[in-house]
Amino acid sequence: MMAAHLYKPSGIKVDVISTHDEGEYLMVRSSTSGKVFFAHKDQVEDFKEDKEPQPSANSLQTRRGRKRIQSSEEAPKVVKPLPPVDDRINLNTLTPEGLTQCLPGVGLKTAKEIVELRQSLPGERFSKLDQLESIKRVDWKEVFATGSVYVE
């Protein structure tokens, strides 16, 4: 399995497919949309997930919280891998109300400005996180540092 990386200009998770020009450029695939594109090695960094879902070793409870009785013959346990949870926020898909709920310190007026800026761009989408820095009321460096937002 490929290790996840982060494409810094847009904040999306990518998988490195191959390297080109003696490692100067990387062919990467977006984990969210599947798009394949080239990126400079300085634009890609290792992605560190803060929390991964861990399957509990003794999960014998039913939906109502009751313990399930085990039979004397134990069936062989099959452990299925869990898909990675991506709880980051795509700023191209949120409404103003969603932005106020997801971004710290963003009120409805600022959220509407973010949406108006997004709609004024080509394709009505942000292509880089740096485009958001024209809205001054939000500490974007702090928001970007958390790694909780991306654009695609």
Tens-place pLDDT, residues 17-37: 999 999 899 999 998 888 999
Burial-class residue 88 by CB neighbours within 10 Å (0-12, 13-18, 19+): middle
For residue 150, list its beta bridge partners. Answer: 90
- What are the structural domain ranges in the chain? 4-46, 89-150
* Six token digits for residue 58: 């003794």
The residue among 116 and 66 whose pLDDT is bigger is 116
CA distance 103 to 89: 9
The secondary element (H helix, E strand) that includes residue 146 is helix 140-146
- Residues in a beta bridge with 87: none
- Is the per-residue pLDDT at 81 higher than 60? yes
CA–CA separation, 60 vs 87, rounded Å? 27
Mean pLDDT (the chain) is 81
User: In this predicted structure, what is the pLDDT of residue 36?
Assistant: 92
Average pLDDT of 39-43?
94
Residue 45: in which H helix or E strand, if any?
A: strand 44-46
Please choose, from the candidates 22, 25, 17, the residue with its C-alpha nearest in 3D space to the C-alpha of residue 42: 25
Which residues partner with 131 through β-bridges?
none
pLDDT band at 97 (very low <50, low <70, confident <90, very high): very high
Domain 4-46 has CATH 2.30.30: yes
Whether 95 has a pLDDT exceeding 50, the answer reads yes
The answer to whether the beta carbons of residues 132 and 118 sit under 8 Å apart is: no
